[in-house]
Chains A and B, each alone.
Chain A
Amino acid sequence: MNLFTIIGEALRALRQNRLRTGLTMLGMIIGVAAVVLMLSIGQGAQTKINQTIAEMGSNLFIVVPGATSSGGFSFGSGSIRTLTIHDAQAIAELPTVGATAPIISGTAQLNYTAKNWSTIITGTTPDYFSVGNWKIESGTTFTESDLRSANRVVVLGSVTAQNLFGGEDPVGKTIRITNRPFLVVGVLMAKGQSLTGRDQDDNIFIPITTSERQITGNQFPGSIRLMLVQCKSADDMDIAEIEITQLLRQRHRIAKGKENDFTVRNLTALADVATGAAKVMSMVLGAIASVSLLVGGIGIMNIMLVSVTERTREIGIRMAIGANQRTILTQFLLEAMMICIMGGLIGLLLGISGAWVVSQVADMLIVITLGMIGLAFLFASAVGIFFGFYPAKKAASLKPVDALRYE
């Protein structure tokens, strides 16, 4: 019997028992769909984190006032004001450091014509935009001379711009921040959420000098909430951390053996932790999905074994009229594989649609790669061959007379 004919016989056997075929296939469908869905969610999360990290800016330290607390660190709990703009300037002079960006922040009420919007206001230096890897959508950032003169100029985050101006171009317009007029000089490109899930685009930026004197005010002039420090190269990160710590201890006149009154955090290292976590997560998701595929496979083996027992007499008849062992083996193996491949295809479509639905409903990034599809499919076929072989072998090795006598 040629392969083509055996395929026909296998297909007919599957058609003869639609319900059983369907139920067995269901195991495969769910398994493959779960694998595709889980892998795409895991891959999506990983891609998203990588994007966020790339947008965050590279080789960054964040320096905040206050000692490292045992339970992590807080972003400068309001009362501690040990870091100053001058600290930031001094650190910028270190040979390993490229640039620093001191930050003070608060909330502010914005008005443009009849529209109101309340948002976070960040006072910083022009270097902030390059350190934080911000790109300009339109206009420019504010300049060193704006900083020196404490000009009333503002750069808008994309969400803020959208909320105040709608479709209008904000550049050159004047908005009011806590009732003082500011000239909009630029709008930033959207970045999305930060690693901690905060919307980074609902934000406005003004020169730190302007902020201190006119908007947020400052109990201790010159003090800042935090600063970003960008290292010249990734290799210098370790040295830079030591240098920054030494410099600040020296400037703050901290005696030997006394605790730091500031905390230096390596953001790149934090990012690595996040990336690692995402990888582990996608592996765990993949493993869970694989288990469901395995369960589907065992279901197939179970059904095939029942099917072999149920069809023992048929196998006997086929042997009596001339089927050899290889033909019987091939037919049963093909039946198992067809269930897997058809189930795999349906599962694939279901998984992809599911991923699409998740991306729409949960607003998550979902990544489906060809490799993923190939993997799910290969796995499905392997399950078919692996779990189909034993029952098929069992069927083929029956003695014709025993098979025929089977009731």
Chain B
Amino acid sequence: MLPLPMQTNHVGYPLIRIENLCKSYSLQDVNGRTITNQVLFNIDLTINQGEFVAIMGHSGSGKSTLMNILGCLDTPTSGSYWLSEKNVATLTNDELARIRNQKIGFVFQGFNLLKRVTALDNVATPLLYAGVGRSQSRKQAAEILRRTGLENFAMHQPNQLSGGQQQRVAISRALINQPPLILADEPTGNLDTQTSREIMLLFQQLNQDQGITIVLVTHEDDIAAYAKRLIRLKDGHIIYDKNNNTETILDKVS
């Protein structure tokens, strides 16, 4: 169990609200003509605070594209996205950077740790960007690493850690600013079954004990099983959105 301070969460409050969201990419074909490739079609989605959602779908179905938009790393072609009731389209680059820093913790399939930077400094970096001094940041980072069981690896660089340890460092980094939302794009994609289980238990714990909202992308059913809500994407459309416990298929949001 992670003894992080309990956050005041209002479960049921909409944290993410997406309406009629579309995303297309423009590409040049071999003849130099511009072709438009639409990846997301009229997505409507609401995720409340405290939820644990798994987004599933085959490769190329648009999961990562959706996650990047949710994480304010990318912008939709059309449609609206409200994060904590703020219309993301109206925010400046600086405000978006602040939201990524304060409100969102990212966990990636490829870990995305800073190379040749110790686990401790990797975890401390978001605090530096929040304006906290280096020594204070390191102190807090050391504390988080202790709680994720990595106190003996604080001075290790990413290439001196196992995949599972690297992902724990990434999760520690995602947690350091105590964000209400964690976005994890195939976090167990590069891990073995046992390590995947440990990581998923960690997510489950964070969701249950601290009420952190977790949105997770996976294409594996047994990983999705840890989530409370399952959303399936197919070719840029949500084909189902159901509660994991009840197994009832909800109406497709149109």
Contact = CB atoms under 8 A, between A and B. Distances in A.
Contacts of A399: 73-74
Nearest to B93: A325
A321 B101 CA distance: 5
B49 interface: no
Contacts of B133: 2, 5
Contacts of A8: 134
B44 to A, nearest CB: 22
B97 A314 contact: no
A175 to B, nearest CB: 79
B100 A319 contact: yes
Interface string A324-347: 111100000000000000000000
Interface string B111-143: 011111100000001101111011000000000
B94 A314 contact: no
Contact of B100 (A2, A320, A325): A320
A1 interface: yes
A401 interface: yes
B97 A325 contact: yes
Interface string B65-91: 000100111100000000000000000
Contact of B129 (A16, A314, A316, A323): A323
A323 B115 contact: no
Nearest to B134: A5
B106 interface: yes
Contacts of A71: none
A317 interface: yes
Listed residue (A5, A8, A313, A318) with the most chain B CB atoms within 10 angstroms of its CB: A5
B71 A320 contact: yes
Nearest to B174: A321
Given A317-B112, A321-B129, A404 B93 contact: no
A316 B110 CA distance: 13
Interface residues of A, number: 25
A371 interface: no
Given A5-B134, A404-B73, A404-B112, A325 B94 contact: yes
A257 interface: no
A1 B131 contact: yes
A318 B94 contact: no
B100 A318 contact: no
B137 to A, nearest CB: 9
B98 interface: yes
B168 interface: no
A22 interface: no
A400 interface: yes
A12 B122 CA distance: 13
B83 to A, nearest CB: 15
Nearest to A12: B117
Interface in A356-407: 399-401, 404
B102 interface: yes
Contact of A324 (B93, B116, B117): B93
B173 interface: yes
Contacts of B130: 322
Contact of B126 (A5, A314, A321, A401): A321
Contacts of A12: 117
Contacts of B177: 322
A320 to B, nearest CB: 5
B97 A324 contact: yes
A193 B131 CA distance: 66
8 A-B pairs with least C-beta separation: A322-B101, A324-B97, A322-B129, A401-B74, A400-B73, A401-B73, A321-B126, A401-B68
Interface of B: 68, 71-74, 93-94, 97-98, 100-102, 106, 108, 112-117, 125-126, 128-131, 133-134, 173, 177
24 contacts: A1-B131, A5-B133, A5-B134, A317-B112, A317-B113, A317-B114, A318-B129, A319-B97, A319-B100, A320-B100, A320-B106, A320-B112, A321-B101, A321-B106, A321-B129, A322-B98, A322-B100, A322-B101, A322-B130, A322-B177, A324-B97, A325-B93, A399-B73, A404-B108
